[in-house]
């Protein structure tokens, strides 16, 4: 299966469990990898034969900039469900949400979750 990806999408938002996380915006990054057949688009050179990655960015942005969530797991799940619902050529989607400034109280370079979701009607 072919893939399309958007990596390092950056957002400033108020997601988190702690009260200050829901009041003071913090940095998040999101990566998505989309599994789909790109052969037709590669042969036709026609945007209508693929998934428009600008539309994917807009869908992710709407969720990241939307209603606050407590868990980044919830953000990842909502993004995956939304992308599979909106973009019918997709067979699978991997979503990674990074929270590099998570309130852990120690030194680290990144914290995040990564999920893989498949369209329910897809045979593997």
Retrieve residue 61's tokens: 């942005």
Of 25, 28, 12, 14, the C-alpha closest to 112 is 28
Of 85, 84, 101, the C-alpha closest to 93 is 84
DSSP code, position 31: E
Q: Which of 34, 83, 99, 102 is catalytic?
A: 99
Q: Is the dihedral of CA 36, 9, 111, 97 positive or negative?
A: negative
C-alpha distances out from residue 113 to 45, 49, 65, 86, Å: 34, 31, 18, 22
Active site residue 69: no
The set of catalytic residues is: 99
């Amino acid at each position: 299966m072919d893939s399309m990806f958007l990596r390092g999408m950056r957002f400033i938002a108020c997601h988190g469990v702690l009260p200050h996380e829901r009041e003071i915006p913090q940095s998040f990054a999101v990566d998505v990898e989309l599994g789909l057949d790109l052969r037709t688009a590669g042969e036709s050179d026609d945007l209508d034969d693929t998934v428009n990655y600008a539309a994917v960015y807009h869908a992710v942005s709407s969720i990241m900039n939307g209603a606050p969530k407590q868990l980044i797991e919830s953000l990842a799940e909502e993004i995956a469900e939304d992308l599979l619902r909106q973009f019918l050529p997709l067979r699978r989607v991997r979503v990674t949400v990074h929270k590099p400034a998570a309130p852990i109280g120690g030194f680290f370079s990144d914290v995040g979750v990564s999920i893989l979701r498949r369209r329910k009607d897809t045979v593997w």
